[in-house]
Structure 1
Amino acid sequence: MKKQIFNFKTLFLLVLAGITLTSCSDDDDNVATEENARVAFRMVDAPGDFDEVNIDVEEVRVQVDAEGEDDGWIILDTEAGIYNLLELTGGVSQLLADEEIAPGYAGQIRLILGDDNSVVVDGEQYALATPSAQQSGLKLNLNKELEAGEAYTYTLDFDVEESIVVQGNGGYLLKPVIRLSAEENSGKIVGEVHPSGFRSLVTAKNASNTISAYTNEDGDFTLYGVPEGTYQITIIADETSGLDPITEDNVVVEDGEITDVETLFLE
């Protein structure tokens, strides 16, 4: 598949009458046939202090112990392209693959990257050296029995801050840190932050988990793959705003559910 450079600010396109498009953040009503299982993988971003982080996605593979699969690895029909992770925020996610496969025990997935990875710092672009991901792929554990007639959606939360390593020679190294979560075993936290004329960092934290995301230009945010539990949410506005951080306590998240904290006001 030919690679393309995607700008998520242009996702909202005019379409033919009678066809309805939803944003990348919407949950799909994915269904599987009786004979197969359906798997979908979406990519989102955990924040980092960079202008851009561009990741060259080539392929997603799933290892399934299924009848008729000799080596166990299934190459999915992947939405290959170069994606700026910092645009995967405010509820926007990038669908990487969504297709039916033979049911069976899924041990791992591999996310295979190309050579065109880069980071933009203070307006200057630098190549991201990637030691091994291009050859064998980034391995993430699924450890899930995929049943016929069922659909499974997974979120790959790319931790930008932990994934970019500054080298001594002034270059940058990509050592991807990705948190994989199953939609059925986690929830989402959504809401808005006002005022919204700047970017704010939203973090949900409890004794076991810390999950962060930036707001978009409208102040919207979505925290994906939040394990069930009770969280404190902290909002930190861009320092240029002069506004103080705020917190929201006792935010309850349940597996498979969306928790809407509505509008949070900075002071």
Structure 2
Amino acid sequence: MKTNHFLLGLLSSCCLFFFAACSENNSGPDEARLQIRLTDAPNPDVKEVWVDIRDIQINYGDSSKWSSLPHIYPGTYDLLKLTDGKDTLLADATIPSGKLSQLRLILGDNNYLIMADGSKQMLTTPSAQQSGLKVQVHSDLTGGVLYRLILDFDAAKSIVEAGNSGKFLLKPVIRVLSFVPSGGIVEGFVAPDSVNTTIYALLGTDTIASTYTDSGRYMFRDIPQGNYSFHYYPSLDTFKTATLDVPVTLGQTTKVDTLHLELKP
């Protein structure tokens, strides 16, 4: 198998979406979380476009040092099933914080087209691109934040017929549409810390996320930006419930003043 088959090749309309409005981000203070999703736009002349994704690699600035992302989902994907807003998760990785320089995909050998007439055409990669097509990112990653990266893959321009040979070349055309944090972080403390307390984060009338205290401390990771109402429910019915207004800003950490639970009369 060719290990470096053109890499970022078919991140077709590659909506690398790192989204988790209500999901937990388990990265530490010096780590960020990156999710990669794959999507595409249809091509009327092609029925199926199958790409064999083996690896996803990142680079922090040293062109000779590429690192494979952990927790990727290698496999062969039909890009044309990923249309009309559909996507598929390629990676959900925790990586070191810092300035992410470049990203690339590594493909295997099993890349092919199913044409409108049902025939199968293998995709070959020009030798100049077998070492990988690099995508420039150059973005700072902050620890504890989940990021959403969107890459746009132009399938029509990336699949080229090789003259009159009847063969097709895979020459990926890809661009970064956006790379932004997908939410904010909230940290707080409830006293007395001996009372376990459940906290609900409401945006309007919708409950976006919930958590509970651990020795008084609590944290929400990666919740959407907005003005929230936090509702506190102590486990002991001798204490009153409480409510606080909490603003959440994209990509930032909000520290809430300590909430002191009050005893019921």
Q: What is the TM-score normalised by the length of structure 1?
A: 0.54
Deviation at 1:134, TM superposition (A): 7.4
Q: CA deviation at 1:185?
A: 8.3
1:144 aligns with 2:136: no
Which one has more relative contact order, counting CA pairs under 8 Å at least 6 apart?
Answer: 2
- Local SS of the residue matching 1:126: strand
Q: Does 1:126 align with 2:121?
A: yes
Q: For the Cα contact (< 8 Å) 1:44–1:156, is it kept in 2?
A: no
Alignment of 1:197-208 (within 5 A): none
Residue of structure 2 in register with 1:75 after alignment: 68
TM-aligned CA deviation for residue 41 of structure 1: 1.7
Q: Aligned in 2, Cα 1:179/1:185: closer, same or farther, shift over 3 Å?
A: farther
Deviations 1:63-102 (A, max 9, x none): 125xxx9954221132111111000112211211111111
Identify which of 100, 105, 109 aligns with 2:103.
109
User: Which consecutive unaligned segments of at least 5 residues does structure 2 have?
Assistant: 1-15, 183-249, 251-265
Whose Rg is larger? Answer: 2
Q: What residue identity is the alignment partner of 2:114?
A: V
- Residue 34 of structure 1 and its aligned partner are, at CA, apart by 1.4
Amino acid at match of 2:29: E
The 1-side partners of 2:166 and 2:54 are apart by 27
148-157 vs 168-177, which moves further: 148-157
Structure 1 stretches of 4+ with a deviation exceeding 6 A read none
**In 2 relative to 1, CA 101–70 (structure 1 residues): closer, same or farther, beyond 3 Å?**
farther
Residue 29 of structure 2: which of 28, 31, 34 is its match?
34
Which secondary structure does the structure 2 equivalent of 1:89 belong to?
coil
For residues 178 and 105 of structure 1, what CA distance do their matches in structure 2 show?
21
Q: Deviations over 1:33-83 (max 9, x none)?
A: 212111122221133221011111111001125xxx995422113211111
Distance in structure 1 (CA, Å) of the matches to 2:56 and 2:139: 17
Q: What's the TM-score, normalizing by structure 2?
A: 0.54
Summarize the Cα distance change of 1:26–1:136 in structure 2 as closer, same or farther, 3 Å threshold: closer
Identity of aligned residues (%): 40
Post-superposition CA distance 1:148-199 (Å, at most 9, x none)? 111212123321111111122111111111232335389xxxxxxxxxxxxx
Task: Name the CA shift for 1:126/1:160 in 2 (closer, same or farther; >3 Å).
Answer: same
- Equivalenced residues, count: 161
Measure the CA separation in 2 of the matches of 1:88 and 1:81. 15
* Cα distance change of structure 1 residues 70 and 112 upon mapping to structure 2, 3 Å threshold: closer
Q: Give yes or no for contact 1:33–1:149 (8 Å, CA) kept in 2.
A: yes
Give the root-mean-square deviation of aligned CA atoms.
2.8
Please list, as runs of the form range in 1=range in 2, the aligned pairs for 1:81-92 lying within 5 A after superposition.
Answer: 81-92=75-86
Aligned to 1:59: 55
Give the CA deviation at 1:146: 1.0
Seen in structure 2, the aligned counterparts of structure 1 residues 88 and 81 have a Cα distance that, compared at 3 Å, is: same
